[in-house]
Amino acid sequence: MLIRKTFIITVLTAFTFTSTIKAQDEEQSTYDKVSVGLSLNHDAFFGFNPMMSVSYALSDTDALTFYGIQWGAGTGSAWGQWTEFGLGYNKTVGSFSINPQLGFTMGNLLSSGTAQEGIIGDGIVPNLTVNHSSDLLEGQFYFGYYAALSDNTEAGESTNNYVHYWLNVGLKASPFFSIGGHFEELYLAGGDTNGGGDLDRTDGYVWLGPYVQFKKGNAGLRFSFGGNLADEDERFSPNDFYKLSFFVSL
């Protein structure tokens, strides 16, 4: 009888231990599929705009992606504490990663031109990011269309739609240092005025200049600078081009 009880207890203990190990392995497997990146960005127009991205790997080449940008930490505080959140799908093809996403903004920049209080559903942001990384070259292309999702205007106020895109390409001069060029443009693409008329396209800035980047492992910094090529009499951002980013991948 004692032997039987001992056997049963041993079997139950082994089963519990095996189940615990299996659950831990499954949890670890799920945990390993998650990647997180944090970028602390500051530039001449938007001010401080930290961004966090999260991805969940579905395979070696496919992943679900999520991102958030705290525009309200900088100049965006005047835009109803502007906040952006989105999700998408990333596909890796060779040395390229292609990531279409759909974002949504909270605030008042798009829905009322900053005239009213910030609201949920201020705007919608279909966007695309393409990254490239090889032993010699690095690069990124981004395109986003910021469209008013709500009309929160009163008489004489306008909804705003913007186009924002950039391209940078660089040479990896060493394992920790790279240098390249950056081109970026932001412009008002139109909108509707409450009480009559559509808005015309208006340039914000056209930035062009070099960048330097220092990186070790999953962390680094990048400094970009240069000139604003937009017409001085028409642009709504008079600043020169300067941008600083601290980034880390977890």
Instruction: Give the model confidence (pLDDT) of 100-136 as tens digits.
Output: 999 999 999 999 999 999 999 999 999 999 999 999 9
DSSP SS3 for 85: strand
DSSP SS3 for 31: helix
Q: What pLDDT shows up at residue 131?
A: 98
Are residues 80 and 8 part of one domain? no
Q: What pLDDT shows up at residue 29?
A: 73
Mean per-residue pLDDT, 177-187: 98
Instruction: Give the model confidence (pLDDT) of 17-49 as tens digits.
Output: 445 545 545 555 777 899 999 999 999 999 999
* CB-count exposure of residue 86 (10 Å: 0-12, 13-18, 19+): buried
Are residues 65 and 6 part of one domain? no
The helix (H) or strand (E) run that includes residue 107 is strand 96-107
Are residues 186 and 108 part of one domain? yes
Are residues 92 and 23 part of one domain? no
Q: What pLDDT shows up at residue 197?
A: 83
pTM of the model: 0.87
Are residues 174 and 83 part of one domain? yes
Q: What pLDDT shows up at residue 2?
A: 47
| Listed residue (28, 22, 76, 24) closest to 48, CA to CA | 76
Contact 147, 123 (CB under 8 A): yes
The CATH number given to whatever domain includes residue 115 is: 2.40.160.40
Domain count for the chain? 2
Q: What pLDDT shows up at residue 21?
A: 45
Please report, rounded to a whole number, the percentage of residues in the chain having pLDDT higher than 70.
Answer: 89
Are residues 66 and 19 part of one domain? no
What secondary structure letter does DSSP report for 193? B
- Cβ atoms within 10 Å, residue 147: 19
Are residues 164 and 240 part of one domain? yes
- Cβ atoms within 10 Å, residue 74: 19
Contact 198, 192 (CB under 8 A): yes
What secondary structure letter does DSSP report for 231? -
Domain that holds residue 13: 1-32
- Distance (Å, rounded) from C-alpha 108 to C-alpha 118? 5
Are residues 101 and 186 part of one domain? yes
Are residues 51 and 28 part of one domain? no
Of 67 and 27, the structure prediction assigns the larger pLDDT to 67
Are residues 71 and 23 part of one domain? no
Are residues 205 and 154 part of one domain? yes
Q: What pLDDT shows up at residue 25?
A: 52
Are residues 239 and 121 part of one domain? yes
Measured in residues, the chain has a length of 250
Mean of pLDDT over the chain: 91
Instruction: Give the model confidence (pLDDT) of 70-92 as tens digits.
Output: 999 988 999 999 999 999 999 99
